[in-house]
């Protein structure tokens, strides 16, 4: 079981690194606080863009990484 979670940590960490590197930087700065951000946040195309897919992959891989790391630490 430890080998499985070790492989899971390795795979999730590599996925996490790649997904973070592929994301584009947000150059909105403080302008996003006043509503100067992108209009697709509340639009119909939400969740269908490449950026949203990368964000979803990042969140899922980080949760998998956290859970598997905590399991390995408990052993």
pLDDT tens for each residue of 31-53:
556 655 555 555 556 557 888 99
User: What does residue 45 show for φ and ψ, rounded to 5 degrees?
Assistant: -85, 10
pLDDT at 32: 58
Q: Return the half-sphere exposure (C-beta side, CA atoms, 13 A cut-off) of residue 34.
A: 5
pLDDT at 72 over 60: yes
Query: Encoding tokens for residue 69?
Result: 């790391």
pLDDT at 61 over 80: yes
Break the chain into its structural domains and give their ranges. Answer: 1-21+47-75
The conformation of residue 43, written as its DSSP 8-state character, comes to S
Task: Identify the CA nearest to 58 among candidates 7, 6, 8, 15.
Answer: 15
Task: Identify the CA nearest to 60 among candidates 16, 22, 10.
Answer: 16
Q: What is the mean pLDDT of residues 15-42?
A: 71
pLDDT at 25: 78
Query: What is the reported pTM?
Result: 0.71
């Amino acid at each position: 079981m430890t080998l499985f979670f070790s492989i899971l940590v390795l795979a999730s960490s590599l996925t996490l690194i790649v997904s973070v590197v592929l994301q584009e930087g947000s150059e909105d700065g403080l302008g996003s606080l006043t509503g100067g951000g992108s209009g697709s946040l509340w639009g119909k195309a939400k969740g269908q863009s490449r950026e949203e897919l990368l964000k979803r992959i990042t969140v899922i891989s980080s949760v998998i990484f956290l859970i598997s790391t905590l399991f390995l630490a408990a052993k």
